[in-house]
Amino acid sequence: MNAAIRLPAEQVYAAELQALARGDDRQKPAGWSLSPKAVLTYLMGGKASDGTVISPKYVGRRQLMETAVATLATDRALLLLGVPGTAKSWVSEHLAGAIMGNSTLVVQCTAGTDENQIRYGWNYAQLLAKGPSQEALVPTPLYRAMQDGKLCRLEELTRMGSDVQDTLITVLSEKMMPVPELNTSIYAQRGFNIIATANNRDKGVNELSSALKRRFNVVVLPLPDDMAEEVSIVSRRVGEMAGGLDLPVPKNVGEEIARVLTIFRELRSGATADGKVTLKTPSGSLSTAEAIATMVSGLSQAAWFDDGKLHAEGLAPSLVGAIVKDPVQDKVVLEEYLETVLKKRPDYAGYYAALNAAI
């Protein structure tokens, strides 16, 4: 029987959203399915009025989510900024799902994205047969969001060229999009807004123009500062993903998550947890998202090849893949870390041997 690999947030968490909506008698901005306070409860976790437990979608500073939700209740667009792997796309999807009940109006920005993919395109068969007409126009997600008063998500905004980015200026400032071929314009309906995400530390990005930056409220999503907080995030997401993939979760998964995150955090910060040893840092970000991916790969390895046993040997290849992005520079960084830090830790003996073998 066929089944979707991944459903939109508003479908996966439909029961929570419905529970919040039933007891939500607060004022709502135009076009919103929930009040801002209910949206915040959906993001941060809590209980609906009928006692339904709302799982946290974002683990971090509440004030950041308050700012994001408050921004979208105005006519200002929201830009979620941060290093790769800080849950920008995750938060963007859940914001759109909770506010509008539709998180699928998405433009994935790339180096090849052009104006037609942002504004509108044309059905060329119709265009040749009838000339420019409303029937020949192909609306983009942004066009449809303006037309219907919905939220449009622009993922990896800085991946597309600066000249294409600037096509958004008129939309953001005037809330309208000219269609000169039809001698008309489309005007955004109430409820329309944009949630954009962007990396501030990555290769292949294009800086936003100052004119475009001024039209966004920026919320910077940081990496978790606290080890316990990051362990909680990874444990929860690994459990959810394992359930979706029908992978058993061994009893020692919590211990291995803590070990993997210790390695990630020490290399990421350039120092051991006690601050006594200074380390070289690899070229990658070693984000929370990469730690989650490493653990899920380890669970798959354990389930299919290691009789359900999760251990360093099964996690080592994914760990090396996450750390060694540059085969020369990062390999040296990892080798030095193994010899100066892990070799001296008896409880990491398995990782020391497995990572040395996997390099």
Facing residues of 220 across strands? 81
By the 10 Å C-beta count (0-12 exposed, 13-18 middle, 19+ buried), 279 is classed as middle
**pLDDT tens profile 78-110:** 999 998 889 999 999 999 999 999 999 999 999
Is 203's pLDDT higher than 80?
no
By the 10 Å C-beta count (0-12 exposed, 13-18 middle, 19+ buried), 278 is classed as exposed
Residues 89 and 232 in one domain: no
> What local confidence, expressed as pLDDT, does residue 287 receive?
92
Residues 179 and 256 in one domain: no
User: How many other β-carbons are positioned within 10 Å of the β-carbon of residue 231?
Assistant: 18
As a whole number, mean pLDDT of residues 309-328 equals 95
Asked if 238 and 250 count as a contact pair (C-beta separation under 8 A), the reply is no
As a whole number, mean pLDDT of residues 293-297 equals 96
As a whole number, mean pLDDT of residues 272-295 equals 93
Q: pLDDT higher for 227 or 163?
A: 227
Residues 180 and 272 in one domain: no
Residue 338's domain comprises 225-356
Asked if 238 and 255 count as a contact pair (C-beta separation under 8 A), the reply is no
The residue with tokens 């409303």 is 134
> What local confidence, expressed as pLDDT, does residue 163 receive?
85
As a whole number, mean pLDDT of residues 318-342 equals 95
Q: Out of 168, 188, 218, pick the residue that ends a domain.
A: 218
Tell me if 21 is assigned to some domain: no
Using the CB atoms, write b or e for 209-219: b if 16+ within 10 Å.
Answer: eeebeebbebb
Residues 162 and 255 in one domain: no
Q: How many CA atoms lie within 13 A of 188 on its CB side?
A: 26
Tell me if 233 is assigned to some domain: yes
> What local confidence, expressed as pLDDT, does residue 319 receive?
96
In the structure, what pLDDT confidence band is assigned to residue 29 with cuts at 50, 70 and 90? Answer: very high
User: How many other β-carbons are positioned within 10 Å of the β-carbon of residue 102?
Assistant: 16
Q: Name every residue whose Cβ is closer than 8 Å to that of residue 67 and which is 6 or more positions away in sequence.
A: 217, 219
Is 281's pLDDT higher than 90?
yes
Q: What is the mean pLDDT of the chain?
A: 94
Worst-scoring range by mean pLDDT, 194-203, 263-272, 304-313? 194-203
> What local confidence, expressed as pLDDT, does residue 210 receive?
87
Per the structure, the count of domains in the chain is 2
CATH label of the domain that carries residue 68? 3.40.50.300
At residue 33's C-alpha, the angle toward residues 31 and 36, to 5°, is: 95
Is 179's pLDDT higher than 60?
yes
CA 269, CA 286: separation in Å to the nearest integer?
Answer: 10
Stretch (H or E) spanning 169: helix 168-174
> What local confidence, expressed as pLDDT, does residue 204 receive?
65
Q: How far is CA 245 from CA 118, 129, 297, in A?
A: 34, 48, 11
Residues 190 and 288 in one domain: no
As a whole number, mean pLDDT of residues 310-330 equals 95
Is 181's pLDDT higher than 90?
yes
- DSSP-derived pairing of the beta strands 106-108 and 46-47: unpaired
In the structure, what pLDDT confidence band is assigned to residue 206 with cuts at 50, 70 and 90? Answer: confident
At residue 345's C-alpha, the angle toward residues 341 and 351, to 5°, is: 80
The predicted model scores a pTM of 0.89
Is 1's pLDDT higher than 60?
no
Tell me if 3 is assigned to some domain: no
> Which tokens hold the place of 345?
């830790």
Q: Out of 183, 202, 218, pick the residue that ends a domain.
A: 218
Q: Out of 203, 218, 233, pick the residue that ends a domain.
A: 218
Residues 212 and 102 in one domain: yes
Asked if 272 and 266 count as a contact pair (C-beta separation under 8 A), the reply is yes
> What local confidence, expressed as pLDDT, does residue 202 receive?
66
